[in-house]
Amino acid sequence: MIKKASLNWISILLLFGLNNLIWAQNSPTSLSKTPEWSVSVDKKDIKVGDEISVTFTSTIEKDWYMYSNDFDPNLGPIAAEFTWEKHASYQLVGKPTPIGAHKHYEEVWKGDVSVFKKKAIFKQKIKILTDKPVIKGSIYFQECNEISGICMPPFDVAFDVKVNVLPSAEGAVAPSTQTTENIDTTSNSKTTVETSSITTDTTTNTNHAAATPPPATTGVFSFLLIAFLGGLIAVATPCVFPMLPMTVSFFTKKSETRAQGISRAFTFGLSIVGIYASLGLIFAFFGLGPDFGNWLSTHWLPNILFFIIFMVFAASFLGLFEITLPHSMVNKIDSKSSMSSLGGIFFMAFTLVLVSFSCTGPIVGSLLIEAVGGKFLKPLLGMAAFGAGLALPFTLFAVFPSFLQNLPKSGGWLNSVKVVLGFVEVAFAFKFLSIADVVYHWGILDREIYLAIWIVLAFLLGMYLLGKLKFSHDSDIPYVSVPRFGLALISFSFGVYMIPGLFGAPLKGLSGLLPPMQTQDFVLGAGASTTSHSEQNNDGTKIKHADFLHLPHGLTGYFDYQQALEESKKQNKPVFVDFTGHACVNCRKMEEYVWAKPEVLKRLQNDFIIVSLYADERKVLPENEWYTSKRDGKVKKTIGEQNHDLQITKYNFSAQPQYVIIDGDEKQLSGPSFFDTDEQKFVDFLDKGKNAFGTK
């Protein structure tokens, strides 16, 4: 019924190994604001010797939950923890008791955990020992999103319980010897009980507001739209398009009535959606969260693997060989395809999915990798959207079969689609190699080499579209159609656009896709100012890590947090903290679209100590600089691990770019600021920090 094809192990690798063709940066799921707590006591008339009940309350946002403290902390989740400052004026009675927490079994932790939803409440009994109690401490807790599975970095919240105590004739009570019977209770004076608002801080002894994450630059809707369009594009590939009239005709001719044919067509379409959604569901159950996504996007191993896989598929698309799947597998599935049952229709859809995978695999794999950070919902919905795009033409043509007459006939143009995809695959294969090259400082794919490859590919693609270049499966082209001419024009124009980049032009339209400008060896007419760097500051002090880390646009700065703080005190300038990454697309866009602007560049050069902290730098530090993080208990050995840990623990955020202006004592003066290409907003952010520093 359907032509058989087959698939080798490379296709299976692709399904779970292709990285992101969609270069939009997604901000991680985050709280709309930092959690706020309030504290209150149960008595208005408090006397020395009384026991009071203190209630801590926090409202939890929709779809978020907080771990309580009444489960085994060794399971893995971060349980809520109260830390109290020792003081002779009060005595704790028992431990904080959660009110309204729900216990349940979590498979990932292999045990029972306890969580709050909507509202978290703890009660703590305290005995008052003097007339001026000092009751302070902090709450350490974590909130997670139940839809995406993403957890925010733990919060460390300071609290101060303020109470007024009635005068006591007996004086203070010793911490463990006197009881309430020793207290004079004749006074009728009133006491006021203050409700303290608790502010969030992720580190002790710091004076800054918790970071409010920026809005998502690419939301779930955009991702689903791209996935749906990917399904529609897949229909135009040579593995799928020839099946369209064949499958639709089968529904219309083998059904007894038109209504039955339409019903079966919808069942067929829904089966395709269900198959791809199941694939997304399986991928979601791997539990691949944002930490895995960060590893996947920056580590050399997956990027080299993706480079090889893309090159292999490109070779197949260009006609070197066919990616096939064993006939026995397709025959076994196809044998169950029968119009006599709904199960038969499902297996008919399954056969289509299998046979078309050699063409749809790159798109499917890219969507799955793009969905890694979404953990659960994104892979599921993304694959369902792709399936819907693929199934829609089959369903519509079954409902309106007369439209089939308007379809172009299968022919050589389908092979041209594969060849064009092959060129695109080669181009993006080098993107993966470039990421590994930049992160690990191999120096094998500098910016001009990368551009040269893309320029050649663009011109070769243009020549192919004009019929001046042929591959083994191509047919002769008697003339160039208008669509092919238009695509050739775009390809040649793209190649011409990139040529100035060989001589140092910024090519802002490709910022983020190209290696950073610092890797370019030659810039025409700019001397060395654009890419030069100094390993020493003005007083001759060696700049740590400047031998392999550099700032853009000829800026001089630092790459070690503590060294930047010391220079701030020496030079009496505020510190511009830049949390960045080698593989951060939006970081490169900010540097090309915002940092390069004269008003911004002038301020960065003259008014600030710049420190760029790479969160994905893999350079291992000397052992005497290692430390164990209080946040996750892991030893931080590399520059990137320490910078990322600093960003999370101090500024309550984990994505890049993030910008903060502080002074030499780490007092926050302006920000945080995130990805936003509005020049004036960035200038205002810089000026605010500079002015705040000047008023000290």
pLDDT one-digit tens code per residue, 192-243: 333 343 433 333 333 333 344 444 444 567 778 888 888 888 787 766 776 7
% of the chain exceeding 70 in pLDDT: 71
Do 428 and 317 touch, CB atoms closer than 8 A?
no
Residue 521: count of CB within 10 angstroms of its CB: 10
For the CA atoms of the chain, what is the radius of gyration? 31
pLDDT (0 to 100) of residue 67:
87
C-alpha atoms less than 13 angstroms from C-alpha of 32 in its C-beta half-sphere: 6
Determine the average pLDDT of the residues in 110-119.
87
d(CA 617, CA 644) in angstroms, rounded, equals 10
Place of tokens 């408090």: 46
d(CA 578, CA 549) in angstroms, rounded, equals 13
d(CA 620, CA 638) in angstroms, rounded, equals 4
Q: In the chain, which segments carry CATH 2.60.40.1250?
A: 37-201
d(CA 308, CA 330) in angstroms, rounded, equals 27
pLDDT (0 to 100) of residue 120:
93
Instruction: Tell how far CA 272 is from the center of its chain.
Output: 29
Query: What is the DSSP secondary structure assignment for residue 166, as one 8-state letter?
Result: B
C-alpha atoms less than 13 angstroms from C-alpha of 145 in its C-beta half-sphere: 19
Do 599 and 563 touch, CB atoms closer than 8 A?
no
What are 53's strand-pairing partners?
125
Residue 215: count of CB within 10 angstroms of its CB: 12
pLDDT (0 to 100) of residue 18:
39
Cα distances (Å, whole numbers) of residue 475 to 317, 339, 470? 15, 37, 8
Q: Amino acid identity of 122?
A: F
pLDDT over threshold 50, residue 25: no
Do 352 and 247 touch, CB atoms closer than 8 A?
yes
Q: In the chain, which segments carry CATH 3.40.30.10?
A: 561-694
Determine the average pLDDT of the residues in 425-437.
85
Counting Cβ atoms within 10 Å, is residue 606 exposed (0-12), middle (13-18) or buried (19+)? exposed
Query: For 37-201, which CATH superfamily applies?
Result: Thiol:disulfide interchange protein DsbD, N-terminal domain (2.60.40.1250)
pLDDT (0 to 100) of residue 249:
67
The two structure tokens encoding residue 591: 């540097």
The dihedral built from the CA positions of residue 115, 121, 125 and 128, taken in this order, carries a sign that is positive
d(CA 596, CA 599) in angstroms, rounded, equals 9
d(CA 319, CA 474) in angstroms, rounded, equals 9
Task: Identify the three-state secondary structure at position 152.
Answer: coil
pLDDT (0 to 100) of residue 684:
92
Cα distances (Å, whole numbers) of residue 611 to 465, 487, 564, 580, 625? 48, 44, 6, 10, 19
pLDDT (0 to 100) of residue 215:
43
% of the chain exceeding 90 in pLDDT: 16
Of 455, 460, 459, nearest to 499 by C-alpha is 455
pLDDT (0 to 100) of residue 254:
63
pLDDT (0 to 100) of residue 369:
61
Q: Which of 72-76, 188-192, 249-253, 628-632 has the lowest mean pLDDT?
A: 188-192
d(CA 300, CA 438) in angstroms, rounded, equals 10
Place of tokens 């209504």: 259
Determine the average pLDDT of the residues in 361-366.
68
Query: Which CATH architecture describes the domain 561-694?
Result: 3-Layer(aba) Sandwich (3.40)
Of 667, 508, 668, 486, nearest to 594 by C-alpha is 508
- What is the β-pairing status of strands 81-84 and 143-145? unpaired
**What one-character-per-residue DSSP string does 264-318 give?**
HHHHHHHHHHHHHHHHHHHHHTT---HHHHHHHHH-HHHHHHHHHHHHHHHHHHT
Determine the average pLDDT of the residues in 77-94.
87
d(CA 418, CA 424) in angstroms, rounded, equals 10
Of 418, 419, 428, nearest to 469 by C-alpha is 419
pLDDT (0 to 100) of residue 341:
61
The dihedral built from the CA positions of residue 637, 638, 640 and 642, taken in this order, carries a sign that is positive
Q: Which of 418-422, 494-498, 534-538 has the lowest mean pLDDT?
A: 534-538
pLDDT over threshold 60, residue 96: yes
Helices (H) and strands (E) in the chain, counts: 18, 19
Task: Identify the three-state secondary structure at position 612.
Answer: strand
d(CA 64, CA 325) in angstroms, rounded, equals 44
Counting Cβ atoms within 10 Å, is residue 188 exposed (0-12), middle (13-18) or buried (19+)? exposed
Model pLDDT for residues 567-590, shown as the tens digit of each residue:
999 999 999 999 988 877 778 888
Counting Cβ atoms within 10 Å, is residue 132 exposed (0-12), middle (13-18) or buried (19+)? exposed
Do 113 and 104 touch, CB atoms closer than 8 A?
yes
Determine the average pLDDT of the residues in 593-601.
89
d(CA 347, CA 596) in angstroms, rounded, equals 57
Task: Identify the three-state secondary structure at position 464.
Answer: helix
* Structure-model confidence comparison of residues 297 and 299, the more confident one: 299
C-alpha atoms less than 13 angstroms from C-alpha of 88 in its C-beta half-sphere: 4
Model pLDDT for residues 161-180, shown as the tens digit of each residue:
888 887 654 444 444 433 33
d(CA 361, CA 359) in angstroms, rounded, equals 6
Cα distances (Å, whole numbers) of residue 88 to 54, 130, 161? 18, 8, 15
Do 313 and 361 touch, CB atoms closer than 8 A?
yes
The two structure tokens encoding residue 448: 């001009």
How many residues make up the chain in this entry? 696
The two structure tokens encoding residue 251: 């529904």
**Which residues in 457-506 belong to E strands, given as ranges?**
none
d(CA 443, CA 430) in angstroms, rounded, equals 14
d(CA 534, CA 53) in angstroms, rounded, equals 61
User: Mean of the per-residue pLDDT values for the chain?
Assistant: 75
The two structure tokens encoding residue 17: 């190994």
